[in-house]
Amino acid sequence: MEQALRAFGPQRLVFGSDLPITRMRMRRICENGSYVNLVPPGIYGDLADDPHMRELSTAQAGHLSVFWYEELSAFRLAAESVGLTARDIEDVFFNNAAGLVEGVRAACGA
């Protein structure tokens, strides 16, 4: 997120998410250039053939939140690192998408 903010700026990005993935109880880490979703045991079926999923112990899983919160936290950290203003954050979370919708409405004569 930080790289995208630095490369494109907050006026050219729209925050979005991939439901239902972000509704999962999990945390994502990076290992050897690939992502791994850390999940509670027994909730998501047989994970033996999925290199992107790994079960935690029951005790470790007790500290997981839903992935949506992990994404929001990652954005907050990136926004702080880049030095976004409150207006920049409002642009990413609302104003940019609203502008796109209005542009389409205007183009369609709605």
Residue 91's pLDDT band (cuts 50, 70, 90): very high
Q: Is pLDDT above 90 for 97? A: yes
Are 40 and 27 a contacting pair, CB within 8 Å?
no
List pLDDT tens digits, range 7-35. 999 999 999 988 778 888 999 999 999 99
pLDDT of residue 17: 85
Tokens 């920049």 locate to 88
Are 79 and 2 a contacting pair, CB within 8 Å?
no
Q: Find the DSSP H helices in 1-110.
A: 2-8, 58-61, 67-82, 86-90, 96-108
pLDDT of residue 110: 73
List pLDDT tens digits, range 30-74. 999 999 999 999 999 999 999 999 999 999 999 999 999 989 999
